Structure 1
Amino acid sequence: MDARLSASLLAGLVLLLHGFTAWAIVEVSMEDRVEVFKGDTAQMTCMFTSDDGIGALTIQWFYVLRTGEKQKIYYQDATMQVVDRATPFTDRIMVNVTAATGEVVLTITDVQLKDQLEFICLVKSLTDGVSEGRTKLLVFERPDFPTIEGVQTGIYVHEEMLSKIGSCEVKNGFPKPNITWYRNNAPLRASDVVKVMPSTTTESSGLFSVRSELSLKVMKEDKDAQFYCEVTYLVPGGTRMTETGRINITVYYPSTAVHVWVESPKGKIKEGDSIMFNCHGNGNTPSSVYVIRHKDNEYALESNMFVLENVTRLQSGHYECISMDMETYEELTGNTTVFVNYLDRAVVMPTVMEVAQGEKLTATCNALSSLQTHTAWFKENRKLSVGHTLMVEGATFDTAGIYRCVVTVPEIDGMETMATLRVNVKGAPEFMNPKHRVMEESVATTVDLSCHVRGFPAPSVIWTTSDGKVLKTTSQTEREDGVHSMVSVEVTSDLTAFCNASNEYGADAASFDIKAIVRTTAAAINTRTSTLSASTVEAATYIPTKKIRKEGSGVIIAVIIICILLLAILGSVLYFLYKKGKICGRSGKRDLTKEKSSKDNIVVEMKSDNTEDAVLLGVNGEKLPPSNQ
């Protein structure tokens, strides 16, 4: 009984001691990781619990070397706080302890890639209780924007080996970025027909650059495919993604069919056009050669185009385009048919016609064509009729001239031909200008006379005068509407000229009566008479020059004689009045030897053509002796 009691007491003591020891142990907790960008500030929190006060605790911080050894960077107890010297963190760390909440915070500034380490927080109490926590510091750096580059050469679909498509590259990321290739929004995974070759480069800065090359078995469908790269990279708290631009590749694949067509002109083709042929296969291998064959002729194509210039109807027919692959020597053909429309020259029957006045005129015009034609007749740009036949009733001289027959093809613009018809209407000469003309011309001038006469055959024109003299023709021209003749005549007196026209059908003449005109000027007439005013008066009469017919000259002379007689009568009346003392206040006889008049007296001299004696009158009407004249 005593033995069992002793054992129970011993067991209880052990349990008591064991419980006391567990209560005295320090407990530490930390996050398993802290993530920051390169260059930022990192904070690691160490949470602890202990029955001892802060003064009874010792706090230390360590980091773990690559070899696994611990390196102390901080120490703190009740009496001191020490940052270890000669460590990578000496100048960049700071520790804050908050006893109330049981927190110890380690702050590291300007975090670098080499700071990506494991850090240890160790807390020890005076009762020998000790505990530690560990946190990994993870450092991140965003990479540069990725680039993509496709191959510059074309890729043949019949290549047996995988062909390189392009490469993607992303630089300066941390941790290492990842590259994924896409084709038309579908990711490409390595397989028998797809090969992705990544490579990583560690820069001197410690950052990573990743490059990836894509190779695959190219198919024809890849000619329209878009390739690009997706780059994923880690950042604090998650993952980010960015994409490159899209690229296309040139895929060469053989043709399975060839097509040829006329590129221009659109619509119907006519002689003289240039035909542009376009020949294409549904493949695009640069080793393909194209030729166009027509009958025995072959034409090489440049850039799948060929131009046949100034075509004729002989170049209508079947055209074949041949494509040959110079690597596989496979030959393909395509064909098209060309028809060249034509319009021959218009033919007028007859081309020259001679009809008598009053007769009926009939002519035809035709042109051979591959299409429906339209025919119209014109004279002097005036449309006369439509149709192949021209008919004119009752021909006159106005019917004569040039007629145009114009043949067109309404379906094709610019397709036109024409021919002409010359019509001569036989008949006696007929004057186009008046047959009788009266003219007035000055003497000693030269006059140009002309006449225009029509008829067929062309009339012969001779110029004569009324006295039978033949005049020399100055000029004579034969026109479509007749003969134009001209002569120059010098006017010396009245004359009549004749334009005589004749042919085998008759004769006619036109006359020109020329009246000669004499230009005359009346001489100034001066008459001396007695002085009647205070100034000297000189009278002169001028008759303007004018054209006067010869038969009217006697009337003019009579008028002049009458004027002279009137002046003489006036002079006689004045003299008579003078003798009677009725003029200038005369009374009785005056001394003939009277003193000369003063210088203020004015003398008027009047001279008559009918007397040789002059009469001088003083201011008082006295007759002055000849000595005073």
Structure 2
Amino acid sequence: MGQSVSLPQGSCGYTMRTKLELSVQESVEVLLGAPVLIPCHYGFSDSRQGPPFIMLQWFVRSPGNSSRARIFYGDSGLQLVDNNTEYSERMDVSSGNNRSLLTIRDVRLSDHQREFFCQVNGLAAGSAEGKTALRVYAPPEAPVIEAVPHGISVTEEQPAKVAVCEAQNGFPKPNITWFQNGELLESSPGQVKFLVLHWRSSSGLFTVQNTLLLRVQKETKDALFSCRVSFSVPGAVHSLESSSVNVTVHYPTSMVELWKESPPGLLREGDAVELRCQGDGHPPPAFIFTREQQPDVPLDSRGDVLVLSSVSRKDSGLYQCRPGDPHSSTEAKGEVQLTVHYLDSAVVVPAESEIMLRGEDLTATCNALSSLKTSTAWYKDGRVVGTGSALLLRDASYHTAGEYVCEVTVPALPALHTQSSVHIIVHGPPQMQSVEQEVRMEHSTGRVLNLSCEAQGFPLPSVSWSFSAGQSWEEVVSRSSSHSSLSVVSIRVSSDFSAVCNASNDLGAEARVFNVKAVPMVTSPAAFSPAEGSGVFIVVIILGLLLLAILGSVIYFLHKKNRLPCGRSGKQSITKEKGSAKDIVVEMKTEESVLLKAVNGDKKAPTEQ
């Protein structure tokens, strides 16, 4: 905003015909340390009658001071910067074209709010002056925010210190505002309060500190706080934002949850169980674990974990946990029901062993007490022979005897299983393994024959042998198991004989008879059956036929050469040399007949056997 001042008539006594007009800016703004230009414009109402001589001066006056000091003087012949002033070394004045421009270098905070006067004396045209106020600005550093290191409790009845924001080295004094989650915080009685402090350093710059006091709620634990510093610069207002901080809010526990951390699934006796308790309070409190049956007896726990090692069925029940913080709600507690499943040892009736008589029936039972549904199976020699708690053994035989294993399992918890057994002993007289009481057989003389006899029974039967015709024999195998005895004897057959195997125990006896017919060993080729040497016999037949063909050819050749007489005397001649032809033919036929019988498999006559 410009201003102009006209002074009264000059001392020369002339009537002022031309009027001096002057204009300056009301204020000029500049950043600290920068140069500033302060212009002063002047002129005359009648430019054709301007004064021949003009005198121009600059003055300065500090705020609150009524006197002012000249810092510059100039006219048409002289330009003078006054010595011994604050501006002697850091100012310049340039004039021309009805304007004077004051330049001040390296503006200082002491220059702030000083008034600079421009005075022009136009002699007969009069005098005029105007003043410009200088305003100096210094932007502060970026604001620094710091949250309180300790937690703030929601139980505090008055606003508590949350964070401090500080902006340093600004001029004039900057302003700080607070934000929560990006929304401006305003003072509110009993809820929000600001404590503002400021001071000036030796350089004259301001430091501003603003403390936020807030009555926190549980939701404040997730809030982000920030501050903003606002400050003026030439021609504008700027601001700088701080980073965001979160504060620790302490609040009592109002809700508690208790659960089984491990192991997963159903529990069984012997498991190690870990229970974990968690509440919504902050900081997390220590928890007290108890059982519903003994609510006043705390269990030995570590913080929020209760470990039960090697649990048993007596550890089943309702477990509870509650915060140990006295500020927490008395109703806040967590509960979990633990059920420890079990399977007792299987009990078999009859126990251990049971004696049965052949033909008897027996029902064996197997039971195991469990907290869950069970499944029962019976095994003998690794094979399933029954299912269910009862096993019925009908019409006992020696095959019934043996060990029966009962296994009880829990389908819902396969890790639970137990087993027991019963040994069945079947009492009875000996019983031969073979149903034949008498065995008839043939065997070649001179060869060794093995006879086997196996009898079952309990008590274990003893086996003995008796032979007819004074045969020489030897027992080569003798072994027994729980219910059977086996004996094998070896005998060289020399003639027909009978052998009796006797098996006996305290309950009876049983015998088995072997009738053996001795067959002479035949070495003649005809004695061989086709199955024993069909290939050899076929070769013999072929050789015989070839021999007959050759002999027929020789006789025919001799007859053609008349060397074979037709009369009887001729035959005798030949016979003397070779034997009669009849004898030859008969002999050949006999050989052929025998060979053909062997090939065709004709049986021997009873007398030949």
Specify whether residues 421 and 84 from structure 1 end up closer, same or farther in structure 2 by C-alpha distance, changes over 3 A only. farther
* Structure 1 contact 429–508 (Cα < 8 Å) conserved: no
Instruction: Name whichever of 503-512 and 66-75 sits farther off.
Output: 503-512
Rounded to whole Å, the distance in 2 between the matches of 1:139 and 1:255 is: 56
Out of 48, 69, 73, the residue aligned to residue 71 of structure 1 is 69
Could you tell me how far 1:203 is from its partner in structure 2?
Answer: 1.6
**Structure 1 stretches of 5 or more lacking a match?**
1-13, 431-452, 462-495, 514-629
Specify whether residues 420 and 27 from structure 1 end up closer, same or farther in structure 2 by C-alpha distance, changes over 3 A only. farther
Rounded to whole Å, the distance in 2 between the matches of 1:506 and 1:266 is: 53
Specify whether residues 98 and 361 from structure 1 end up closer, same or farther in structure 2 by C-alpha distance, changes over 3 A only. farther
* Structure 2 contact 147–246 (Cα < 8 Å) conserved: yes
Out of 153, 157, 163, the residue aligned to residue 156 of structure 1 is 153
Specify whether residues 26 and 336 from structure 1 end up closer, same or farther in structure 2 by C-alpha distance, changes over 3 A only. same
Specify whether residues 26 and 505 from structure 1 end up closer, same or farther in structure 2 by C-alpha distance, changes over 3 A only. closer
Out of 106, 112, 119, the residue aligned to residue 108 of structure 2 is 112
Which residue does 1:37 correspond to in 2? 31
Could you tell me how far 1:503 is from its partner in structure 2?
Answer: 6.8
Q: Which amino acid aligns with 1:25?
A: K
Could you tell me how far 1:292 is from its partner in structure 2?
Answer: 1.9
Rounded to whole Å, the distance in 2 between the matches of 1:400 and 1:47 is: 137
Residue 191 of structure 1 aligns to a residue whose secondary structure is coil
Could you tell me how far 1:196 is from its partner in structure 2?
Answer: 1.5
Q: In percent, how many aligned pairs have the same letter?
A: 36
Residue 114 of structure 1 aligns to a residue whose secondary structure is helix
Which residue does 2:564 correspond to in 1? none
Which residue does 1:409 correspond to in 2? 410
* Structure 2 contact 42–99 (Cα < 8 Å) conserved: yes
Residue 127 of structure 1 aligns to a residue whose secondary structure is helix
Could you tell me how far 1:338 is from its partner in structure 2?
Answer: 2.8
Rounded to whole Å, the distance in 2 between the matches of 1:183 and 1:329 is: 29
After superposition, what is the alpha-carbon deviation per residue over 1:521-564, rounded to whole angstroms, capped at 9, x for unaligned?
Answer: xxxxxxxxxxxxxxxxxxxxxxxxxxxxxxxxxxxxxxxxxxxx
Rounded to whole Å, the distance in 1 between the matches of 2:459 and 2:33 is: 117
Which residue does 1:528 correspond to in 2? none
Residue 246 of structure 1 aligns to a residue whose secondary structure is coil
Specify whether residues 187 and 159 from structure 1 end up closer, same or farther in structure 2 by C-alpha distance, changes over 3 A only. closer
Specify whether residues 418 and 65 from structure 1 end up closer, same or farther in structure 2 by C-alpha distance, changes over 3 A only. same
Could you tell me how far 1:429 is from its partner in structure 2?
Answer: 12
* Structure 2 contact 407–417 (Cα < 8 Å) conserved: yes
Rounded to whole Å, the distance in 1 between the matches of 2:402 and 2:354 is: 10
Could you tell me how far 1:200 is from its partner in structure 2?
Answer: 0.7
Which residue does 2:178 correspond to in 1? 181
After superposition, what is the alpha-carbon deviation per residue over 1:272-320, rounded to whole angstroms, capped at 9, x for unaligned?
Answer: 3333334455544778763423423431554333222222221222334
Which residue does 2:210 correspond to in 1? 212
After superposition, what is the alpha-carbon deviation per residue over 1:491-539, rounded to whole angstroms, capped at 9, x for unaligned?
Answer: xxxxx994432579664346899xxxxxxxxxxxxxxxxxxxxxxxxxx
Specify whether residues 378 and 91 from structure 1 end up closer, same or farther in structure 2 by C-alpha distance, changes over 3 A only. farther
Rounded to whole Å, the distance in 2 between the matches of 1:19 and 1:347 is: 146
After superposition, what is the alpha-carbon deviation per residue over 1:587-609, rounded to whole angstroms, capped at 9, x for unaligned?
Answer: xxxxxxxxxxxxxxxxxxxxxxx
* Structure 2 contact 252–329 (Cα < 8 Å) conserved: no
* Structure 2 contact 457–484 (Cα < 8 Å) conserved: no
Output aligned runs, 1:393-408, within 5 Å: 405-408=406-409
Specify whether residues 282 and 60 from structure 1 end up closer, same or farther in structure 2 by C-alpha distance, changes over 3 A only. same
* Structure 1 contact 425–455 (Cα < 8 Å) conserved: no
Output aligned runs, 1:94-133, within 5 Å: 94-99=92-97, 102-116=98-112, 117-127=114-124, 129-133=126-130
After superposition, what is the alpha-carbon deviation per residue over 1:384-438, rounded to whole angstroms, capped at 9, x for unaligned?
Answer: 66544567899999988766544333334533334455577898999xxxxxxxx
Could you tell me how far 1:88 is from its partner in structure 2?
Answer: 2.9
Rounded to whole Å, the distance in 2 between the matches of 1:498 and 1:308 is: 66
Rounded to whole Å, the distance in 1 between the matches of 2:383 and 2:481 is: 31
2:136 is aligned with 1:139 = yes
Output aligned runs, 1:166-315, within 5 Å: 166-184=163-181, 185-189=183-187, 191-256=189-254, 258-280=256-278, 282-284=280-282, 290-296=288-294, 297-299=297-299, 301-315=301-315
Output aligned runs, 1:478-493, within 5 Å: none
Q: Which amino acid aligns with 2:234?
A: P
Rounded to whole Å, the distance in 2 between the matches of 1:180 and 1:336 is: 50
Rounded to whole Å, the distance in 2 between the matches of 1:512 and 1:202 is: 130
* Structure 2 contact 175–229 (Cα < 8 Å) conserved: yes
Specify whether residues 72 and 410 from structure 1 end up closer, same or farther in structure 2 by C-alpha distance, changes over 3 A only. farther
Specify whether residues 204 and 382 from structure 1 end up closer, same or farther in structure 2 by C-alpha distance, changes over 3 A only. farther
After superposition, what is the alpha-carbon deviation per residue over 1:317-339, rounded to whole angstroms, capped at 9, x for unaligned?
Answer: 23343445547996765544332
Which residue does 2:55 correspond to in 1? 58
Which residue does 1:319 correspond to in 2? 319
Rounded to whole Å, the distance in 1 between the matches of 2:314 and 2:118 is: 103
* Structure 1 contact 429–501 (Cα < 8 Å) conserved: no
Could you tell me how far 1:145 is from its partner in structure 2?
Answer: 1.7
Which residue does 2:545 correspond to in 1? none
Rounded to whole Å, the distance in 1 between the matches of 2:55 and 2:381 is: 129
* Structure 1 contact 458–503 (Cα < 8 Å) conserved: no
Q: Which amino acid aligns with 1:93?
A: M
Rounded to whole Å, the distance in 2 between the matches of 1:417 and 1:502 is: 33
Rounded to whole Å, the distance in 2 between the matches of 1:454 and 1:201 is: 120
Residue 29 of structure 1 aligns to a residue whose secondary structure is strand
After superposition, what is the alpha-carbon deviation per residue over 1:140-160, rounded to whole angstroms, capped at 9, x for unaligned?
Answer: 222222122222223333334
* Structure 1 contact 199–210 (Cα < 8 Å) conserved: yes
Specify whether residues 376 and 146 from structure 1 end up closer, same or farther in structure 2 by C-alpha distance, changes over 3 A only. farther
Residue 314 of structure 2 aligns to a residue whose secondary structure is helix
Output aligned runs, 1:507-522, within 5 Å: 507-509=485-487
Rounded to whole Å, the distance in 1 between the matches of 2:67 and 2:368 is: 113
TM-score when normalising by structure 2: 0.60
Output aligned runs, 1:562-573, within 5 Å: none
Could you tell me how far 1:211 is from its partner in structure 2?
Answer: 0.8
Q: Which amino acid aligns with 1:114?
A: S
Which residue does 2:469 correspond to in 1? none
* Structure 2 contact 164–212 (Cα < 8 Å) conserved: yes
Q: Which amino acid aligns with 1:89?
A: Y
* Structure 1 contact 354–423 (Cα < 8 Å) conserved: yes
Residue 220 of structure 2 aligns to a residue whose secondary structure is helix
Specify whether residues 258 and 28 from structure 1 end up closer, same or farther in structure 2 by C-alpha distance, changes over 3 A only. same
Specify whether residues 98 and 298 from structure 1 end up closer, same or farther in structure 2 by C-alpha distance, changes over 3 A only. same
Could you tell me how far 1:357 is from its partner in structure 2?
Answer: 9.8
Residue 248 of structure 1 aligns to a residue whose secondary structure is coil
* Structure 2 contact 59–116 (Cα < 8 Å) conserved: yes
Output aligned runs, 1:524-603, within 5 Å: none
Could you tell me how far 1:180 is from its partner in structure 2?
Answer: 1.6
Instruction: Name whichever of 380-389 and 44-53 sits farther off.
Output: 380-389
* Structure 2 contact 158–191 (Cα < 8 Å) conserved: no
Rounded to whole Å, the distance in 2 between the matches of 1:347 and 1:147 is: 80
Out of 82, 85, 90, the residue aligned to residue 84 of structure 1 is 82
Could you tell me how far 1:202 is from its partner in structure 2?
Answer: 0.9
Rounded to whole Å, the distance in 2 between the matches of 1:76 and 1:295 is: 107
Which residue does 2:346 correspond to in 1? 346
Could you tell me how far 1:380 is from its partner in structure 2?
Answer: 7.3
Rounded to whole Å, the distance in 2 between the matches of 1:508 and 1:455 is: 9
After superposition, what is the alpha-carbon deviation per residue over 1:203-250, rounded to whole angstroms, capped at 9, x for unaligned?
Answer: 222211111122233444434433332221112221122232333333
Rounded to whole Å, the distance in 1 between the matches of 2:20 and 2:379 is: 127
Q: Which amino acid aligns with 2:231?
A: Y
Specify whether residues 27 and 423 from structure 1 end up closer, same or farther in structure 2 by C-alpha distance, changes over 3 A only. farther
Which residue does 2:370 correspond to in 1? 369
* Structure 2 contact 172–206 (Cα < 8 Å) conserved: yes
* Structure 2 contact 455–461 (Cα < 8 Å) conserved: no
Residue 299 of structure 2 aligns to a residue whose secondary structure is strand
